[in-house]
Structure 1
Amino acid sequence: MTSLIRGLALLDVAELVADLGGDPDALMRSHGIDPAAAGDYNTFLPYPSVAAVIGDAAEELHCPDFGMRLARRQGIRMLGPVAVIIRNAETVEAAIEGVSRCLHHLAPPDSTALIREPQAAVFTYSTNLRRLAHHDQMIEKGLGIAMDAFQLMLGENFVPLRVTVQHRRIAPMQNYREMFGCHVEFEREVNSVHLPLHSLNQPIRGRDAAALALAENYLVGIRPDLAVADHVRDMTRRLLVVNHASLVAVARAMSLHPRVLQRRLAESGTSFEEILDDVRRDMAWDLSATGMQISQIATMLGYSETSSYTRACRRWYGESPRQLRARRRGAPESASTRPSPARGAAWPTPPTSPSPPS
């Protein structure tokens, strides 16, 4: 199980690969990506597969600055609705903060931040996937897109004070100077673009407040990190079967740091604990229909004590595990033995279809 990124990450990649003499369709299919998904905002792709396409293109086509070249072609178009915030925020600082707040809609593992120092404002960019192959190409592509955004907001002649990256140099220095217009420092602590402090207060020319409101309403209206929450739900169910469904285990399986995963889930309005509880509830519903012993069901759900499962079952369905099992097995119960709903809860009603009740 891997983290995902929208298909916009591969916007224009086919054209660039073809211009360099490669076969873009074969390249993408070799990594399990449908070429039609490249550039599609509504499609999510495995992040490592996208990185592999870009990294392999750089190697196979002898183009070490492939990530930066792709960034030039994509520009902020790659950011989809988040680009509207950049074009229409009130100031440069507001635009950066908007990107930092909404970037997870496009790439849940990615994050940006703005740090104020005495002499400069530092924009940082990171990808939180660990052991990601071709991480360097993805970072250089991301910083290249940031440069397009800054030149849009601050003028096409904008040049950063400094640019730093965490990885070693992978392309000729001239390529970096052409991209950023300044000296780039390698093997530093962060990936960053340094701006003059006063530039943060510069207003965005030609901004449209109505367009900004529409973009923000749209981004608020969609559920952020839906794909990540679904990933966690699926992985939790898989690991629960082997009694190993912890936050740390799920995060490791998704190549994320536990704190990063917690933050992404919080941004989507949920938590690992809530997802785990939902998965256990749904599994209890399914397992109860099999006639399995109550103690076995409790173990399958990851409870060390049957009493813990009993309390949870009463909270979920307003009845004991034995009563739930009897109901799911279709055994009729007399009115005197039918369970009462939990205090303040509605009667638990069997669903009309085999799927678990919501």
Structure 2
Amino acid sequence: MTDLIRGLALLNVAELVSGLGGDPDALMRSHGVDPGAAGDYDTFLPYSSVAAVIGDAAQELDCPDFGMRLARRQGIQMLGPVAVIIRNAETVAAAIDGVSRCLHHLAPPDSTELIREPHAAIFTFSTNLRRLAHRDQMVEKGLGIAMDAFRLMLGESFVPLRVELQHRRIAPMASYREMFGCPIEFEREVNSIHLPPHSLNQSIRGRDAAALALAENYLAGLRPDLAVADHVRGMTQRLLVVNHADLVAVARAMSLHPRVLQRKLAESGTSFEEILDDVRRDMAWDLSATGIQISQIATMLGYSETSSYTRACRRWYGESPRQLRARRRGVPGSAHARPS
């Protein structure tokens, strides 16, 4: 996974840290970040370093809702040219589609998706770096910025049906109510904002079709190979949850023909099959630590037969699924190191 994000991710961090009594320059330098790069669109920074700056600020300054506070200060300004798409798309649904297609130009590990259901439209956000420290703060910042976008498109009084977060609660409930204004559920399957279905068709007032075309043309010319494999990995991981992680489904979600997607991946030195296998291996490692049934893990990885998962597990880790689960759960007599 490409561990990169544009310097815009740290827009207004210095002001917020200073306002809380901290030293923003020292904080950023302690994680190898040049303070001059904070807020700079043209600079790429290590995603893990940006997350460390935000997470450590939350801990050191006793501000558990730091990510959400930063989101309120940044708003969609943090999205650079992607914000132009939000302001000028024809409808809310078109704006979400534009963000999903172009977000990887700003933050390759991040991805969004729109899931349509009979009684809700579900906007999802994920950060796909493996074992990222302070993922919770980055997710809350990301969904906070999404709320700014929705209120821009749907009106300042917009309130979602509900918000779901994968992590446990890290801030006072009052902070979540202030940010989202709706019921919040923690430790859920995906990070998501649930919207009324009719909101997707709402037209965006004051849109400028020419500005939209300029922004899309600009983004289309930005290193298209920068994150195609990373984007496919994130999309595959999310589609596995609903058992639709095949080449055709991933290509459709990325608005590409399957052959075009395979060619782009080949140019990046990989293939869809390799990415799918890699995603399954990492998910098996994480799921085995939960103690859920082997058959459930096999299903969550998209295998129709448990025996297929068993063969894959032996190929990845040199042991059976039960042995892997025992080792991950710290059963006495099991090794704890992850095989290379």
1:274 counterpart residue number: 267
| Aligned residue identity for 2:156 | E
CA contact (8 A) 2:126 2:191 kept: yes
In 2, Cα distance between the equivalents of 1:129 and 1:18? 29
Is contact 2:2-2:109 (8 Å) kept?
Answer: no
Contact 1:225/1:267 (8 A) holds in 2: no
Task: Return the offset for 1:224.
Answer: 2.9
The one-letter amino acid of 2:264's match is T
Report the residue type matching 1:48 in the other structure: S
Structure 2 partner of 1:50: 50
Partners of 1:140 and 1:267 in 2: CA distance: 31
Partner of 2:223: 223
- Following the alignment from structure 2 to structure 1, what is the Cα–Cα distance between the partners of residues 268 and 175? 46
Q: Distance in 1 between matches of 2:206 and 2:2?
A: 40
* Corresponding position of 2:101: 101
Deviation at 1:35, TM superposition (A): 0.3
* Distance (Å, rounded) in 2 between the aligned partners of 1:13 and 1:268: 39
Given that 1:8 and 1:41 are in contact with CA atoms closer than 8 Å, whether structure 2 keeps it comes out as: yes
Distance 1:150 1:47 in 2: 25
Q: Following superposition of structure 1 onto structure 2, how do residues 35-46 of structure 1 map, counting pairs within 5 Å?
A: 35-46=35-46
Distance 1:259 1:117 in 2: 20
TM-score, structure 1 normalization: 0.66
1:205 match: 205
CA distance in 1, matches of 2:159, 2:179: 10
- Change over 3 Å in CA distance of 1:257–1:218 after alignment to 2: closer
Instruction: Tell me the residue number matched to 2:283.
Output: none
Write the mapping of 1:1-358 to structure 2, written as runs, cut at 5 A: 3-226=3-226, 228=227, 270-271=264-265, 273-276=266-269
Q: CA deviation at 1:61?
A: 0.1
Cα deviations across residues 109-159 of structure 1 (Å, max 9, x unaligned)?
A: 110000111111000000111110000000000000000000000000000
CA contact (8 A) 1:4 1:107 kept: yes
- CA distance in 1 between partners of 2:235 and 2:79 (Å): 26
Task: Kindly provide the CA deviation profile for residues 79-120 of structure 1, in whole angstroms up to 9, marking residues without a partner as x.
Answer: 000000000000000000000010000001110000111111
**In structure 2, what is the Cα distance between the partners aligned to 1:188 and 1:77?**
29
* 1:221 to partner: Cα distance: 1.8
Alpha-carbon distance, 1:275 to partner? 4.5
Rounded to whole Å, the distance in 2 between the matches of 1:156 and 1:149 is 10
Aligned length: 250
TM-score under structure 2 normalisation? 0.69
| Cα distance in 1 for residues equivalent to 2:84 and 2:57 | 30
Q: Is the 8 A contact 1:225 1:268 kept in 2?
A: no
Asked whether the equivalents of residues 111 and 235 of structure 2 are also in contact (C-alpha less than 8 Å), the reply is no
Would you say the 8 A contact 2:225–2:264 is kept in 1? Answer: no
Deviations 1:177-201 (A, max 9, x none): 0000112110011100011100000
Contact 1:115–1:121 (Cα < 8 Å) also in 2:
yes
> Offset at 1:220?
0.9
- Per-residue CA deviations over 1:192-237 (Å, capped at 9, x if unaligned) read 00111000000000001110011011111222353x58xx9xxxxx
Change (3 A) 1:259 1:177: closer
Counterpart CA distance in 1 for 2:147 and 2:235 is 31
4+ runs of 1 displaced by more than 6 Å?
266-269
- Equivalents in 1 of 2:169, 2:27: separation in Å? 25
Q: From the CA coordinates, give the structure whose radius of gyration is larger.
A: 1
Could you tell me how far apart the structure 1 residues matched to 2:171 and 2:38 are? 25
Root mean square deviation, CA, Å:
2.4
The 2-side partners of 1:88 and 1:276 are apart by 36
CA contact (8 A) 1:126 1:139 kept: yes
Once the 2 structures are TM-superposed, how far is the Cα of residue 270 of structure 1 from its aligned partner? 3.2
The letter for the 1-side match of 2:12 is D
Specify whether residues 108 and 26 from structure 1 end up closer, same or farther in structure 2 by C-alpha distance, changes over 3 A only: same
Q: Against the structure 1 CA distance between its residues 25 and 146, is the aligned structure 2 distance closer, same or farther, given a 3 Å change threshold?
A: same
Matching residue's letter, 2:190: V
Preserved contact between residue 161 and residue 182 of structure 1 (Cα < 8 Å): yes
Identity of aligned residues (%): 78
Q: Give the drift of 1:274.
A: 3.3
Cα deviation, residue 267, structure 1 = 7.2
